[in-house]
Amino acid sequence: MAIMLKGFALAFLVSFLSCHLISVPSQASSDDFLQCLREKMPSELVHAQGSSDFAAVLVSSIRNPKFFTDTTVRPLCILTPTDASHVQDAVRCGRWHGVRLRVRSGGHDYEGLSYRSARPEVFGVVDLANLRAVSVNKFESTAWVDSGATIGELYYAIAKNDPRMAFPAGLCPTMGVGGHFSGGGIGMMMRKHGLAIDKVLDAKLVNANGDLLDRAGMGEELFWAIRGGGGESFGIVLSWKVQLVHVPSAVAVFKIPKTLDQGAIDILTRWQEVGPLLPRDLTIRVIVQGQQALFQALYLGTCRSLVATMGYQFRELNMTSADCRSMTWLQFVVGNTDTPVEALLSRNTSLSTFTKNKSDYVRTAISKDVWRNIFSWFEMNGAGMIILEPHGGSMDSIHTAATPYPHRSGVLYNIQYVVFWQGDGTATTTWLGNFYDFMGNYVSKNPREAYVNYRDLDIGQNVVMDGVSTFDSGKVWGEQYFMSNFERLASVKAAVDPTDYFRNEQSIPPLLQEHR
Ligand SMILES: Cc1cc2nc3c(=O)[nH]c(=O)nc-3n(C[C@H](O)[C@H](O)[C@H](O)COP(=O)(O)OP(=O)(O)OC[C@H]3O[C@@H](n4cnc5c(N)ncnc54)[C@H](O)[C@@H]3O)c2cc1C
Ligand SMILES: *[C@@H]1O[C@H](CO)[C@@H](O)[C@H](O)[C@H]1NC(C)=O
Ligand SMILES: *[C@@H]1O[C@H](CO)[C@@H](O)[C@H](O)[C@H]1NC(C)=O
Ligand SMILES: *[C@@H]1O[C@H](CO)[C@@H](O)[C@H](O)[C@H]1NC(C)=O
């Protein structure tokens, strides 16, 4: 054991040193890079580390305080482009002077990879917050949305144009379109309409040469890869053309909590079978926290029809018309009917509590005895929580290789583990690690599937050799996120960015010829 650890430490040191020697540019090249940027774009869009507004720009979309500490590896500079040409120039300056770029849209990455590095590195950040137009085409029922828009801004613009149109994506209004679409986009309408990426028709991307390409220009393989293959790897996506979907003028919703005494375990055990088989208009997700399971539903129809459907299909929940509320889709996204829908336009985020998340997929229902055991884990930690998102419906009928998101046919539901803490998080994160190990017996295996948008660096990080992230190191985490699609993603990467300019700790490594 001791020898293994020593070997590991040595290997780590060597890879760290070689990475250091190869990828960290000299002070001179950093200065030249900044000089290059200032020549190409208005200087007020270049926020260098020493400048007075640097900290404010950096923190503007950070949610997790653990990534805003002094020990975090921060960018050399943050660019806030107002035009596509600025992004192209930033890539060209970066290539010329050997400085990498990371992209930030909404800054919600769970590991902060859009604005910090987990290891020593010199890099700039392209923050797309100023590039956030949404333009809806009523006649085509499509929209072009810039990556820097939040999902709340997109939903709002669509509904203002026509309240019976919407888009199937996630729930948190402040998430950026850029990162969210890059990883898939799980939401409450996916059982009917699929993920956000299933409705993307075209995109504009700046590649590693600084070229601006649309779908026809980038080709179908690259267009396939950017729809779910994870952010950062293939270039900077500036905007997306999406297909809108119809929603009724009112939807029906309920939130029903069940405690252990009220039969939470039996109902949850039953939900696993029912949830993925319900009519596509109905999604019931579950949040387990403390000794309670909260059943939260969105139904694309009336309360009356929802009560009837629940009576036939999921009697065990005992849902009645008293549980049901009818509201617009937009009001559902806001979360309650008292808050004005304009709240969706607020980009404010705050450095609230510390959090850490992980994910799993379940393909075989978990038994009642095991659920009893899971609830006892939550007795130990009141701050822990799991969110269960049912698949099935449309998710079952879309082929595994249609997009990089592979968790389709046969998946019952996704599990997201969430822990929150203030101050010292050691006990909480240890609890999460132990609970995740325990759950390993009951979730998908070989590979143990995970969702790239719930990014988790614990499942693996790239190793850089000769200046390039290695395929074998990427495979460790990559097959969990992408399963059989990983190798195809790595081939696309080799074709479009063989020198691995766009990279982070979990970017797709190039599958170079010598490994094939
Ligand atoms: C509170 C909260 C709620 C969430 N709810 C959901 C949910 O309901 N459903 C769901 O599926 N996910 C959800 N997520 C996860 C979310 O989808 C991801 O965190 C997503 O990556 C966020 O996108 P972003 O633009 O805000 O992140 P960023 O941090 O800006 O980017 C994430 C990653 O994508 C890269 N990237 C960003 N923009 C671009 C671009 N334009 N081109 C190329 N690469 C880019 C970044 O470099 C980084 O690697 C939630 C996250 C949070 C914090
Ligand atoms: C984990 O998920 C929760 C719920 O969606 C979210 O509030 C939190 O910000 C996430 N954690 C991180 C590290 O972003
Ligand atoms: C469901 O409701 C009925 C009648 O209101 C009640 O008798 C029963 O105990 C309830 N079951 C559960 C599991 O709550
Ligand atoms: C957002 O933040 C700004 C500046 O801190 C503040 O003036 C504004 O009231 C906030 N908006 C909301 C909706 O919280």
Give mean pLDDT, residues 163-189: 97
| Separation CA 462–CA 470 (nearest Å) | 7
Instruction: State how beta strands 100-104 and 123-127 pair.
Output: parallel
195: its two tokens = 């993920």
- Say if CB 198 and CB 487 are below 8 A apart: no
Closest CA to 412 of 264, 273, 267: 273
Question: Is ligand 1 within 6 A of the CB of residue 236?
Answer: yes
Closest CA to 115 of 100, 105, 104, 130: 104
Closest CA to 124 of 187, 65, 73, 68: 73
**Mutation test of ligand 1: which of 60, 78, 104 has the most ligand atoms closer than 8 Å to its C-beta?**
104
- Say if CB 102 and CB 125 are below 8 A apart: yes
Q: Measured in angstroms, how far is the CA atom of residue 9 from the centroid of ligand 1?
A: 32
| Separation CA 58–CA 44 (nearest Å) | 15
State residue 423's pLDDT score: 85
Helix (H, G, I), strand (E, B) or coil at 240: strand
Question: Is ligand 4 within 6 A of the CB of residue 348?
Answer: yes
- Say if CB 448 and CB 420 are below 8 A apart: no
Q: Is residue 39 predicted with pLDDT exceeding 50?
A: yes
Query: Residue 466 class from Cβ within 10 Å (0-12 exposed, 13-18 middle, 19+ buried)?
Result: exposed
| Separation CA 462–CA 90 (nearest Å) | 25
| Least trusted range by pLDDT, from 21-30, 105-114, 162-171 | 21-30
383: its two tokens = 């701050």
Instruction: State how beta strands 123-127 and 251-259 pair.
Output: unpaired
Give mean pLDDT, residues 283-309: 97
Domains of the chain: 28-130 (3.30.43.10), 134-246 (3.30.465.10), 250-327+350-459 (3.40.462.20)
**Mutation test of ligand 2: which of 116, 349, 357 has the most ligand atoms closer than 8 Å to its C-beta?**
357
Atom of ligand 2 nearest to the CA of 171: 5
Q: Which ligand is nearest to the CA of 268?
A: 3
Q: Measured in angstroms, how far is the CA atom of residue 377 from the centroid of ligand 3?
A: 27
**pTM, 2 dp:** 0.94
Cβ neighbours around 318 below 10 Å, total: 14
State residue 336's pLDDT score: 84
Task: Give me the chain's average pLDDT, please.
Answer: 93
Residue having the nearest C-alpha atom to atom 4 of ligand 2:
418
The proportion of the chain whose per-residue pLDDT surpasses 70, expressed as a percent, equals 95
Cβ neighbours around 148 below 10 Å, total: 27
Give mean pLDDT, residues 35-57: 95
Q: What is the pLDDT of residues 446-469, one digit of tens each?
A: 999 999 999 999 999 999 999 999
Q: Is residue 67 predicted with pLDDT exceeding 90?
A: no
Residue having the nearest C-alpha atom to atom 5 of ligand 3:
318
Q: What is the pLDDT of residues 388-418, one digit of tens each?
A: 999 999 999 999 999 999 999 999 999 999 9
Closest CA to 203 of 190, 217, 193: 217
State residue 68's pLDDT score: 82
State residue 8's pLDDT score: 39
Q: Is residue 213 predicted with pLDDT exceeding 80?
A: yes
State residue 404's pLDDT score: 98
